Structure 1
């Protein structure tokens, strides 16, 4: 008899002898899958699909209808002065959502003079000072935390001096790319199959969710509280409710970004300079994972284009 089987047999015999009924075995509980929503580049300008006000209405209404916990809107403050931007950000606050710094003018950390880049952070802090529901998080535009090493470390020191922490993502997406394809199709006078567009959107986002959670399990040994990178654009204004429904159907619980940035992995600072896929990917690289081949549908333009073509999302009138 196999040793483990013998142990079970003896346990049953001893329980019977003592008069106690054997206890039923239960499957171990699966780890909780937690996900927070974050929206970059708010407030975005009026566009060919929705005005800024319509976009804000749609996001607030859908998040409320789905009884979602607070999301965080990472604000690029140069947008506050146009298309009713300041009032729209106030409306996110009034709806209970959180605000954080996404710079003033959305410059790249590696390509901008450090003094100019840090001044841009400060300008955003100045303009955000009067808003409620503020969090001391800074999200680097393009997830570019700065190269070379000395510049990266300079920015980290600058954030610490200002009481800011990295508002990292754990799940990168190319929702911005699909949104841009939609806008370009309309500008070219093409027809848009919105049901097919939604299917591409959902498959892209779920590919990101699944990939980065599996990467975390393999590289970190756990599923941390995740935060997904989205944008305050027309695509999400149309379909964020469908995404919420989908992730919940896959066993995910939506949580506040406060829970994400209180997760133990928030105290782990990546050493790699490759940060463009977010915190989990960077920590995986630190742990020895090669960045070569670290890819999936959610961030690959060629794969997204192929799916758009296969599903005939855009067509001639």
Structure 2
């Protein structure tokens, strides 16, 4: 087992220039509630401009149609604005249930409700992303039932290969704003960018250790104020590390996509990169260190809120 760990560490340390690294951008939970800094309309406008500025020609927004409610009459128009800007939309369930909390039949019915709103709309892609990346954890029978249901509906797994837990960082900003705490916005930007670049480098190393190559990666982000504010900085930093921006269509055409519906591990929740590394027997950890809200929380407290800093 020591030789295997040494191989992982060696491959993770391969210089960025040694591989042609590609990354596609995806955003979950649209339409999302308001964040700490922007209204929902402001966020969509700024995010579209940010994608254009960063030269991201095609991103994907995974939609929860159950969040399109009468109390938010502009929600559907905001989704349409992404499509009008050249981006695509896909299914993230109707009401965002966790698969481990409901039956397979109820889960598939929720997917169907989302498809009723999505299918046939401009920009639609037949992809489904599991809320919370929860594919049933240790419940193999439920996982297999949902996989069969997705196949019967012509839906592919909208997996991710890179996750920087941006939702946790966004939640921290919302909590700080509600508490009236001052935030160092430059430090927040730096923490956001640094975290996602490190996550990309880590998961690419893990993928190369697993497959011997760098696949076209899919980055998980959410429709957040942080993305709207800092996406150009993030893309610029990724390019400095040798990353090229891919379209979502190209990323999901990568051969690794075929493995998203057939891996079989003891517990299914997280990135596809982690699942496949687990299946191959690579040792833990198979996830980026900041995929832990407590770790991010401590960094946010010291660097953004300046707590404990004299």
Shift of 1:305: 2.2
Q: Would you say 1:276 and 2:269 are equivalent positions?
A: yes
- Aligned alpha-carbon RMSD (Å): 1.7
Identify which of 150, 170, 174 aligns with 1:179: 170
**Separation (CA, whole Å) in 1 of partners of 2:193 and 2:55:** 20
Asked whether the equivalents of residues 38 and 230 of structure 1 are also in contact (C-alpha less than 8 Å), the reply is yes
Identify which of 155, 158, 161 aligns with 1:167: 158
Q: Would you say 1:44 and 2:32 are equivalent positions?
A: yes
Identify which of 297, 302, 308 aligns with 1:310: 302
Match of 1:285 in 2: 278
Q: Would you say 1:31 and 2:19 are equivalent positions?
A: yes
**Separation (CA, whole Å) in 2 of partners of 1:130 and 1:295:** 36
Match of 1:295 in 2: 287
Asked whether the equivalents of residues 35 and 170 of structure 2 are also in contact (C-alpha less than 8 Å), the reply is no
Structure 1 stretches of 4+ with a deviation exceeding 6 A read: none
**Separation (CA, whole Å) in 1 of partners of 2:291 and 2:254:** 25
Shift of 1:312: 4.1
Asked whether the equivalents of residues 93 and 114 of structure 2 are also in contact (C-alpha less than 8 Å), the reply is yes
Match of 1:90 in 2: 80
The one-character-per-residue Cα deviations of 1:93-118 (angstroms, maximum 9, x if unpaired) are 10000110000000001111222111
Match of 1:17 in 2: none
Q: Would you say 1:65 and 2:53 are equivalent positions?
A: yes
Q: Which has the larger radius of gyration?
A: 1
**Separation (CA, whole Å) in 1 of partners of 2:264 and 2:41:** 41
Identify which of 129, 147, 165 aligns with 1:139: 129
1:192 aligned counterpart, secondary structure: coil
**Separation (CA, whole Å) in 1 of partners of 2:290 and 2:36:** 25
1:226 aligned counterpart, secondary structure: strand
2:228 aligned counterpart, secondary structure: helix
Shift of 1:194: 0.3
Match of 1:6 in 2: none
**Separation (CA, whole Å) in 2 of partners of 1:260 and 1:279:** 13
Structure-to-structure mapping, 1:116-265, within 5 angstroms: 116-146=106-136, 147-265=138-256
**Separation (CA, whole Å) in 2 of partners of 1:249 and 1:101:** 32
**Separation (CA, whole Å) in 1 of partners of 2:306 and 2:109:** 42
The one-character-per-residue Cα deviations of 1:35-79 (angstroms, maximum 9, x if unpaired) are 000000011123442111111001101111222120000001112
TM-score after normalising by structure 1: 0.86
**Cα distance, 1:83–1:197 mapped onto 2, change above 3 Å:** farther
1:110 aligned counterpart, secondary structure: helix
Relative contact order: is structure 1 or structure 2 higher (C-alpha 8 Å, sep ≥ 6)? 2
Asked whether the equivalents of residues 270 and 279 of structure 1 are also in contact (C-alpha less than 8 Å), the reply is no
Aligned length: 287
Structure 1, unpaired ranges of 5+? 1-28
The one-character-per-residue Cα deviations of 1:260-313 (angstroms, maximum 9, x if unpaired) are 1111111122111433221111111110123x4333333122321232233243
The one-character-per-residue Cα deviations of 1:144-199 (angstroms, maximum 9, x if unpaired) are 11241110000000000000010000012210001000010010010011001111
TM-score after normalising by structure 2: 0.88
**Separation (CA, whole Å) in 1 of partners of 2:175 and 2:83:** 31
